[in-house]
């Protein structure tokens, strides 16, 4: 994605902390306008060849759409951790160690704060909140199909596997939506701060899994032991994460970043091969997913 350019644009944000309350929007129509006019290719996978990018599904969104998707993600994650901690009636706490429970309590508290933030952003814009979804984290859609994770409420390893799936998906989904918030500095900062927190959640969940014996790095890597079945809906969380091609705008020209050739990053001894460098580049960048994909992933656990 055009992430290097996005990082450069963040320097223009002059609000180091979020105000206590979002400024009220006088008209929902303003929030409902497209967030920015970008090249369609940037929205659907910049690293794709031109022909493939042109054929990819278009993801035309408004700022309101982006906020609603973010809220859906946060509501799902808040419910997910709340059930694991025994905070929801009818659900017993997953048997974690005291240290693991403390970590999950911190994550759940963050998710609850994110829910409050995005609800406020939406209602301050004059829009009504959508009805709450119903969740089934076994993946059985309330018993209407075979469960994907039947022991999620009793097995800590299963729970953390799904937690990794959700957190990794959330990080990619936020990256896919920030493009639509760039014309509003307040909303952009809110989304990026939330994205940063979600990325730390993903890393810590992966660390917790590794401490329990799972073969997984603290970031998405081809070296991770797979937690999805090829071709399944859950597998979409990791599709495209092996991409090793990134671009940056130089003036008005879209230019490939020469990680494997002219950049002075190969300083190891012995020197890495070009293929080894690109493998590390693939690990260094989380690729975005568009709203179509993110919504499909949400549907795995709603009914």
Look at the block and give the residue holding tokens 């890597």.
221
Is the model's pLDDT at 198 over the cut of 70?
yes
Residues 199 and 65 reside in one and the same domain? yes
* Lowest mean pLDDT segment, chosen from 112-116, 195-199, 280-284: 280-284
Is the model's pLDDT at 29 over the cut of 50?
no
Q: CA separation (Å) from 157 to 198, 224, 267?
A: 20, 15, 38
For residue 198, the domain's CATH number is 1.20.1260.10
**Quick one: pLDDT at residue 61?**
78
According to the per-residue pLDDT averaged within each range, which of 53-62, 138-147, 271-280 is highest?
Answer: 138-147
**Quick one: pLDDT at residue 134?**
97
- What total of structural domains would you count in the chain? 2
Residues in the chain: 303
Residues 151 and 294 reside in one and the same domain? yes
Residues 57 and 156 reside in one and the same domain? yes
Whole domain around residue 125: which residue ranges?
A: 3-243+285-301
According to the per-residue pLDDT averaged within each range, which of 249-253, 283-287, 296-300 is highest?
Answer: 296-300
**Quick one: pLDDT at residue 7?**
43
Residues 177 and 259 reside in one and the same domain? no
Residues 224 and 251 reside in one and the same domain? no
Contact 181, 61 (CB under 8 A): no
Please count the other Cβ atoms lying within 10 Å of the Cβ belonging to residue 161.
20
What is the rounded average pLDDT of the residues 25-30?
Answer: 38
Residues 7 and 146 reside in one and the same domain? yes
Residues 14 and 40 reside in one and the same domain? yes
Write out pLDDT tens, residues 158-193. 999 999 999 999 999 999 998 899 888 889 999 999
Report the C-alpha gap between 259 and 280 in whole angstroms: 10
* pTM assigned to the model: 0.80
Residues 150 and 222 reside in one and the same domain? yes
**Quick one: pLDDT at residue 273?**
87
Report the C-alpha gap between 249 and 175 in whole angstroms: 18
Residues 239 and 253 reside in one and the same domain? no
Residues 160 and 252 reside in one and the same domain? no
């Amino acid at each position: 994605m055009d992430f290097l350019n996005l990082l450069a644009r963040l320097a223009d944000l002059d609000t180091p902390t979020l105000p206590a309350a979002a400024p009220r929007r006088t008209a929902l129509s303003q929030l409902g306008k497209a967030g920015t006019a970008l090249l369609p290719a940037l929205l659907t996978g910049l690293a794709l060849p031109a022909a493939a990018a042109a054929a990819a599904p278009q993801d035309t969104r408004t700022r309101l759409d982006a906020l609603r998707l973010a809220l859906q993600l946060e509501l799902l994650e808040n419910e997910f951790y709340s059930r694991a901690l025994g905070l929801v009636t009818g659900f017993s706490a997953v048997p974690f160690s005291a240290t693991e429970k403390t970590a999950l309590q911190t994550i759940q508290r963050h998710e609850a704060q994110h829910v409050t933030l995005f609800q406020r952003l939406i209602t301050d814009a004059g829009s009504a909140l959508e009805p709450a979804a119903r969740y089934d984290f076994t993946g059985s859609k309330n018993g209407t199909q075979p469960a994907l994770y039947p022991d999620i409420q009793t097995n800590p390893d299963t729970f953390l596997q799904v937690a990794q799936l959700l957190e990794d998906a959330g990080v990619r989904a936020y990256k896919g939506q920030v493009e639509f918030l760039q014309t509003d500095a307040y909303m952009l900062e809110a989304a990026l701060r939330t994205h940063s927190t979600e990325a730390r959640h993903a890393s810590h969940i992966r660390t917790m899994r590794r401490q329990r014996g799972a073969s997984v790095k603290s970031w998405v890597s081809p070296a991770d032991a797979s937690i999805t079945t090829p071709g399944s809906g859950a597998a979409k969380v990791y599709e495209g994460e092996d991409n090793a091609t990134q671009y940056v705008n130089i003036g008005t020209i879209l230019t490939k970043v020469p990680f494997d050739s002219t950049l002075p990053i190969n300083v190891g001894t012995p020197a890495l091969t070009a293929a080894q460098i690109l493998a590390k580049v693939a690990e260094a960048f989380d690729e975005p997913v568009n709203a179509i994909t993110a919504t499909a992933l949400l549907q795995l656990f709603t009914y």
